[in-house]
Amino acid sequence: MKKILMLALSLCALAGLAPAGVTVATALAADAGRFDYGLRPERIAENTWVVVGRREDFTTENGGNIVNTAFVATGAGVVVIDTGSSKRYGEQLLAAIASVTDEPVAMVLNTHFHPDHFLGNQAFPADRLFALPATIRGIAADGNAFAENLYRMSGDWMRGTEVVVPPNPLAPGPLRVGRHDFEVLALGGHTEADLALYDRTTGVLFASDLVFNERAPTTPHAHLGNWLSALDRLEATGAALVVPGHGPVSRDGGAIAQTRAYLGWLERTLNDAAERGLDMTEVLALPVPASIRRIALAEAEYRRSVVHLYPAAEQRALARAGQR
């Protein structure tokens, strides 16, 4: 794209059409400024930073900057947790990392196969990319479709973005990198495979999209029962700080409790509606309690979740009725 822009401006200049004061450099700078995510690393613990995204849907204004990414400077290289929603995001995340540490990138973890968590992979060395085996399969199978959908929702922020599948499968269990002792947790519920990373050295839990904070959870590939069980596992770590996949860092465990309360309400609502024989239109019209509505995007995500999850709730209700 830069070469095309440079050629176009050069041709304009030769034809006497270039506006006064416009140069290739200023045009490129303007293009870069237009697509600046404004990533600002926030130090939350020793050697540990988080970049917090907006509590919004994908738009052409935010460019997909709705996800939390994080990194830990271990003394033997940086461990990066998720790479964001585009090639541009990944490049700017790499620059943000370089602004606070001189350590090279040692490992990049893709926590699951939703696009806002892996489409920045291009900016990082491919041989440093790791994910759970099911996540690798999911990115390989659906990554291009996800990228195409984000192009439609985020526009030119996605320019040049291509899917890079992590080549390295990651197993659950202890993981020592430099001075930090991590625990890799292979869970599920938000998707088939959700990686959470607990840093025993600092007490920070990178919970990925198993935890949302002040932003309603998304459910296109969710299994609510498994998700609620995964939250129990996360809570059992006793983490001092929880970094959710979306929303502010939680310093009192409240994000796990909030996610559990939302998912529990959603599960009860859908199961009760199915038992009562409501059709989907009636379920979509059910009121969302005020305690849930205060969470960002709660009403919109509820409607999406009805579409995602209610058919299965109906099938379970029918099966139970057949057994009676």
DSSP state string for 200-265: TTTTEEEEEEEEESSBPPP-TT--HHHHHHHHHHHHHT--SEEEEEESPPBSSSHHHHHHHHHHHH
Q: For position 32, what pLDDT does the model report?
A: 55
Rounded distance between C-alpha atoms, residue 184 and residue 172, angstroms: 5
Q: Give pLDDT tens digits for 201-256.
A: 999 999 999 999 999 999 999 999 999 999 999 999 999 999 999 999 999 889 99
Answer whether 47's CB lies under 8 Å from 70's CB.
no
Phi, psi of 302 (to 5 degrees): -60, -45
Strand partners, 49: 43, 71
Answer whether 211's CB lies under 8 Å from 190's CB.
no
Mean pLDDT of the chain: 92
Phi, psi of 129 (to 5 degrees): -90, 130
Which residue type is seen at 116?
D
Q: For position 277, what pLDDT does the model report?
A: 97
pTM of the model: 0.90
Q: For position 28, what pLDDT does the model report?
A: 39
Whole-angstrom CA distances from 206 to 24, 79, 240, 310, 314 are: 42, 12, 11, 30, 34
Q: Give pLDDT tens digits for 125-140.
A: 999 999 999 999 999 9
Answer whether 202's CB lies under 8 Å from 48's CB.
yes
For residue 5, name the pLDDT band (cuts at 50, 70, 90): very low
Q: Give pLDDT tens digits for 66-84.
A: 999 999 999 999 999 999 9
DSSP 304: H
Q: For position 15, what pLDDT does the model report?
A: 39
Listed as own residue / partner, the contacts of 308-311 with beta carbons closer than 8 Å and 24 or more positions apart are 308/219, 308/220, 308/222, 309/219, 309/222, 309/224, 309/266, 309/270, 310/270, 310/273, 310/274, 310/280, 310/283, 311/280
Residue 35 corresponds to which tokens in the numbers above?
């697509």
Q: Give pLDDT tens digits for 81-92.
A: 999 999 999 999
Element (H, E) at 183: strand 180-187
% the chain with pLDDT above 90? 87
